[in-house]
Chains A and B, each alone.
Chain A
Amino acid sequence: MSFVTIENVFQTYDDRPILERVNVEVDEGQFMSVVGASGCGKSTFLRLLLAQEQPTRGQVRVADAPPAMEPGLDRGIVFQKYSVFPHLTVRENIIAGESFRHRWGRLFGAERRDALTRADETLVRIGLDHVADAYPATLSGGMQQRLAIGQALVAKPRILLLDEPFGALDPGTRLNMHDFLQNLRAETGMTVFMVTHDLEEAFKLGDRVLVFDKPRWDPNDPTLYGATITYDFDARDGGIPFQTLKEETHVLHSA
């Protein structure tokens, strides 16, 4: 039984189709990269997964629960920017991952002390312990995204959604972030959906790469048809699917 089931999903804004007939099943723990040209509904797809929007037709189910009506604890999200709370310090941002579900959005007494200890452990793990008391605006882009991912993971979501998380970072920082994300994934075994523009990144990190494109195209009215998943690559084992390599083949080494 698949973990995330997307069944015959259509999404239309004001009669303008964005997504058509999207079907995909994802197992728990898979890393899904989502690529495609601009305006091909990648971000819409992510918003549907997040339950920020409801599909016009079809449904998105996670772990066989009924379709969610609004974003909740089971889905974590990291956007390209504005992903951390600017008015909270780095440590408070991490604690927010635990405290926001409570009635006052704060923790008190022993609970707070425990959360502080855990937050400091998390900060060490994501390499931000030296800036725990700084405000996010003073951090670099890469550090802010590390914080955003750490914050999302503290809430222990069942799936993690990344919307072009490294799009605004320089190439060197981006490579560090890849290592960071791969380590975190190895630790948590979480199901991840990542929208990206960078194909190399998509194949490097993903178990599967979903390509969004418009299967039909009317040159007189490009917005007439919506996009769907046109390719679903298995990106494991260096992109050679359905086989576990036993010997060194000297082909397709990822950098």
Chain B
Amino acid sequence: MRLINIKPGRASASLLMLLPFAAVLIAYAIGSEIRLSENPSDKLLPAPGTIWDTAVRLTTEADRRSGRILFWHDTWASLKRLGLGIGISAFTALVIGLLIGLLPLMRSFLSQFVAVLSMIPPLALLPILFIVFGLGELSKVVLIVVGTLPFLIRDLSQRTLEIPQELLVKAQTLGASSWVIAIRVALPQVLPRLIQGVRLSLGPAWLFLIAAEAIASDLGLGYRIFLVRRYLAMDVILTYVIWITFLAFVIDWALRWISRRTFPWMETGL
């Protein structure tokens, strides 16, 4: 039987899915064990048990100086920045993308400009953002917006262009104005694409968030990681990394769930 025709059953599919996770955990545990047996005060690969203890301490014990549980404050600060940045980005991209996709005038006016803008490496703009917007929340949110907006605009304008011409003509023969076509035909068909685009943008958004927090911040997940790096606190760093991964995964999963629930007419799940 050809390899391309061999499909795993339900049980073996689950097993295969878990395998790489288990492999990484076991490899880490072995590596950690080897290093710790040579030098019990080794800091590079803390034992899984140590990481667990650190995680419990970070999430339950308040900071001695400020009396706050920094872990949750970091999380809240970062999620706020991320949500604000992605939210502004998504909304702006939706409006501009629809304009470019539907109106030939706007396409001539903006599409090349956006294409050039999207080539600017956002991190190269970070110093400018800090200078212009200061070191507060604004510059971090703006970095996320600058980093994700051009991609989202290009994605959404392309998706709008891909709406079959037949549907736009049909709407016109039903007497729809440009505005009605935008809100009743194009918008509902592009919204699931927006969610898909946001899911793809979340990776870069986290990258920009952590970069901005690492450089100038006093709270946030990225800030904490770079702060404890000075003490080689691998257990804290790893806890935060696992937590960020978990958050990103949950957000992605939630967006997919929303997309499925809200747009049942999309036959295939995104």
| Interface residues, chain A, with chain B CB atoms under 8 Å away | 50, 52, 70-73, 75-77, 79, 81-88, 96-97, 100-106, 135-137, 148, 151-152, 155, 157
Contact = CB atoms under 8 A, between A and B. Distances in A.
B166 A79 contact: yes
A100 B185 CA distance: 10
Contact of B166 (A70, A81, A101, A136): A81
B176 A86 contact: no
Interface in B142-199: 164, 166-167, 169-177, 179-180, 183-185, 188-189
B225 to A, nearest CB: 43
A82 B164 contact: yes
B113 interface: no
B38 interface: no
Given A81-B166, A100-B180, A104-B180, A87 B265 contact: yes
Nearest to A96: B174
B233 to A, nearest CB: 51
Interface of A is mostly: loop
Contacts of A87: 188-189, 263, 265
User: Which residue, of B164, B174, B189, B267, has the highest number of chain A Cβ atoms within 10 A?
Assistant: B174
A209 B184 CA distance: 37
B265 A137 contact: yes
Given A86-B189, A137-B265, A101 B174 contact: yes
A247 to B, nearest CB: 44
Contacts of A148: 170
16 contacts: A50-B169, A71-B173, A72-B173, A73-B175, A77-B169, A77-B170, A79-B169, A81-B166, A82-B170, A84-B170, A85-B167, A86-B265, A104-B180, A105-B184, A137-B267, A152-B170
B166 A100 contact: no
Contacts of A96: 171, 174, 184
A104 B180 CA distance: 6
A135 B167 contact: no
Contacts of A72: 172-173, 175
B59 to A, nearest CB: 43
User: Which residue, of A52, A82, A106, A157, has the highest number of chain B Cβ atoms within 10 A?
Assistant: A82
A157 B182 CA distance: 22
Contacts of A70: 172
Contact of A71 (B164, B169, B185, B188): B169
Interface in B233-270: 263-265, 267
Contacts of B183: 104-105
Given A87-B265, A135-B265, A50 B173 contact: yes
A105 B189 contact: no
Contact of B173 (A75, A86, A102): A75
A75 B174 CA distance: 9
Contacts of B170: 77, 79, 82-85, 148, 151-152
A71 B178 CA distance: 12
A73 B176 CA distance: 9
A100 B171 contact: yes
Contacts of A75: 173
Contacts of B169: 50, 52, 71, 77, 79
A88 B174 CA distance: 15
Nearest to A135: B265
Contact of B167 (A50, A52, A82, A105): A82
A77 B173 contact: yes
A52 B171 CA distance: 12
B166 A105 contact: no
A101 B265 contact: no
